[in-house]
Amino acid sequence: MPQAKQEHEKGFRAVKGMHDVLPSDQPYWDRLDAAARDIARAYGFSRLEPPILEDADLYKKTSGETSDVVSKEMYAFRTKGGDLLALRPEYTPGTARAYLEHNLSRAGQPQKLFSMGPVFRHDRPQLGRYRQFTQIGFETVAGPNDPIYDAEIIHVFTELLKALRIDQWKLKVNSIGCRVCRPLYKKQLTNYYKSREKELCADCKERLAANPLRLLDCKEASCEALKEKAPNFLDKLCATCAEHFKSVLEYLEEVGTMYELESRLVRGLDYYDRTVFEFYAAGEEEALGAIAAGGRYDYLMEMIGGHLTPAVGGAAGAERLIAVMKARGIAPPPRNGKRVFLAHAGSLAKRKAFGLLAELRRQGIAVSEALSRESLSAQLKAADKESAGLALILGQKEIYEHSVIIRDLRTGLQEAVPRDRIAEEIKKRFATMGHAGHQ
Ligand SMILES: [Zn+2]
Ligand SMILES: [Zn+2]
């Protein structure tokens, strides 16, 4: 096929909306990974990783068939066996499915669950937004419907931002009520919009019948204007929901978390009730969209055949967090220097160096090298780039004396150490180097 051949001659490129995480970006990912794991451990969240592929109906039944995530953005396909599967567009439904399937309620309540991995949405690619992106999710499932858990989930994300040194952010919170008060509010909202139907965008005219709450989410200018006078949900909450929301806010105040009440915040997924929240980077980076978001989803388990199970959770978008860090010049902490660079002088030393490398690495010592370079100064220049703390130098003389020169690259001081004591010496020096951050 000549046409196919031509295309390959141009070379392959990543699929639209997909991105490569290059080694130069890895320090940001390491930082994020370490911060998320540290917080999960400190707050008692255990990791749960559902598979990337799920039954597409799982998302239709929970996130909602008319939600943008399911109707426009989900990668769904039929397998050769005829099953309709989807690449997960988010974590929560898969986590809920796993919770029910494995009877996790028996393992204690509440279950605090943590996830971190790729999700997929066929969205318009733009800065910080990809079709494969990474979510860091925290969920508190089962146990009492206690507002303290809503506040704790929100607090966990403020701690994540703090750990990444992202300190200018906005938190928007709202309550979208429960089964008792939401239908009444929906009716008032429908009446309000029905009388102004002509001014609505085409999408919203359709949404009005399916879910009027989603009109509050529309970004079209004509609909944006109508939101201003739309009835406010916070005025219509039932007494239980109002009390719940008030407590959430009090807990947030207790830990000094600043928030903005945002009565138009509804989140575009059907399973949410009561508390919903979104974090934005303040200033220019607000244009990246929400960097973390979530809410309470007490009815989700029922939607997929379980019992009523109070739950609250949220997820942060890793690529967006990294985009904010880069835009603000927040560098991930440098490598901690607990790395050795092995340099050699001469061809016999090169051969012996190969054996020494294997030996040190087997002992768990991270060793870099530039063995293909002959000049010692070129090798030591490479050591600088690696930000190694120590250099080992192996030359003709050292081979005959069964020694290795160890040089502290920060002070420039060096000494010869017997070959059979070198690993021990490296470990000793690393132990006194202290902790300059995560690696
Ligand atoms: Zn209510
Ligand atoms: Zn609209």
pLDDT in tens, 278-301: 999 999 999 999 999 999 999 999
Mean pLDDT over residues 78-96, rounded?
97
Separation of alpha carbons 130 and 177, rounded Å? 32
Containing structural domain, residue 97: 12-180+238-327
The pLDDT, as a whole number, for residue 400 is 96
Instruction: Say if residue 316's pLDDT is above 50.
Output: yes
Confidence of residue 257 (pLDDT cuts 50, 70, 90): very high
7 within domain boundaries: no
The pLDDT, as a whole number, for residue 6 is 59
Which ligand sits nearest to residue 224's alpha carbon?
2
Domain boundary among 303, 327, 351: 327
The pLDDT, as a whole number, for residue 65 is 87
**Ligand 2: centre distance to CA 225 (Å):** 10
The pLDDT, as a whole number, for residue 96 is 97
Give the dihedral sign, CA 108/109/115/120.
positive
The pLDDT, as a whole number, for residue 437 is 38
The pLDDT, as a whole number, for residue 384 is 82
User: Do residues 225 and 216 touch, judged by C-beta distance below 8 A?
Assistant: no
Would you give the distance in Å from CA 317 to the centre of its chain?
A: 4
> Which of 19-23, 221-225, 385-389 is predicted least confidently?
385-389
Task: Give the position of tokens 């005025």.
Answer: 235
**Ligand 2: centre distance to CA 290 (Å):** 20
% the chain with pLDDT above 70: 96
> Are both 90 and 169 inside the same structural domain?
yes
* 3-class secondary structure, 109: coil
45 within domain boundaries: yes
Instruction: Please name the residues in contact with 37: beta carbons below 8 A apart, sequence gap of 6 or more.
Output: none
**Ligand 1: centre distance to CA 294 (Å):** 18
> Are both 81 and 111 inside the same structural domain?
yes
**Ligand 2: centre distance to CA 189 (Å):** 14
Mean pLDDT over residues 182-190, rounded?
92
Which ligand sits nearest to residue 298's alpha carbon?
1
Confidence of residue 436 (pLDDT cuts 50, 70, 90): very low
Q: What are phi and psi of 136, to 5 degrees?
A: -115, 110
Confidence of residue 213 (pLDDT cuts 50, 70, 90): confident
> Are both 356 and 308 inside the same structural domain?
no
What are the CB-based long-range contacts (under 8 Å, 24+) for 15-22?
A: 15/131, 16/125, 16/131, 17/122, 17/123, 17/125, 17/130, 17/131, 17/132, 18/130, 18/131, 18/132, 19/130, 19/132, 19/319
pLDDT tens readout for residues 417-429: 999 999 999 999 9
Instruction: Say if residue 140's pLDDT is above 50.
Output: yes
**Ligand 2: centre distance to CA 215 (Å):** 6
User: Do residues 182 and 299 touch, judged by C-beta distance below 8 A?
Assistant: no
Separation of alpha carbons 335 and 30, rounded Å? 10
Which ligand sits nearest to residue 221's alpha carbon?
2
Instruction: Say if residue 406's pLDDT is above 80.
Output: yes
Domain boundary among 327, 354, 380: 327
216 within domain boundaries: no
**Ligand 1: centre distance to CA 179 (Å):** 6
Closest CA to 277 of 193, 169, 115, 179: 169
**Ligand 1: centre distance to CA 177 (Å):** 4
**Ligand 2: centre distance to CA 69 (Å):** 16
Domain boundary among 301, 327, 353: 327
Mean pLDDT over residues 119-133, rounded?
91
301 within domain boundaries: yes
**Ligand 1: centre distance to CA 233 (Å):** 10
What pTM was computed for the model? 0.88
56 within domain boundaries: yes
Instruction: Say if residue 439's pLDDT is above 80.
Output: no
Radius of gyration of the chain (CA): 28
> Are both 299 and 373 inside the same structural domain?
no
What's the start-to-end Cα distance of the chain, in Å?
A: 48
pLDDT tens readout for residues 328-344: 999 987 666 688 999 99
> Are both 356 and 292 inside the same structural domain?
no
57: domain CATH number is: 3.30.930.10
The pLDDT, as a whole number, for residue 8 is 63
365: domain CATH number is: 3.40.50.800
What does each C-alpha distance from 248 to 69, 304, 308, 406 come to in angstroms?
27, 27, 21, 57
> Are both 306 and 421 inside the same structural domain?
no
Instruction: Say if residue 24's pLDDT is above 50.
Output: yes
**Ligand 2: centre distance to CA 86 (Å):** 27
224 within domain boundaries: no
> Are both 295 and 351 inside the same structural domain?
no
Near ion ligand 1, which residues have CB within 5 Å? Answer: 177-178, 180-181, 238, 241
> Which of 4-8, 15-19, 85-89, 96-100 is predicted least confidently?
4-8
**Ligand 2: centre distance to CA 117 (Å):** 32
Instruction: Say if residue 411's pLDDT is above 60.
Output: yes
Which ligand sits nearest to residue 207's alpha carbon?
2
Total domains in the fold of the chain? 2
Separation of alpha carbons 392 and 405, rounded Å? 5
The mean pLDDT value of the chain amounts to: 92
**Ligand 2: centre distance to CA 201 (Å):** 4
Which ligand sits nearest to residue 222's alpha carbon?
2
190 within domain boundaries: no
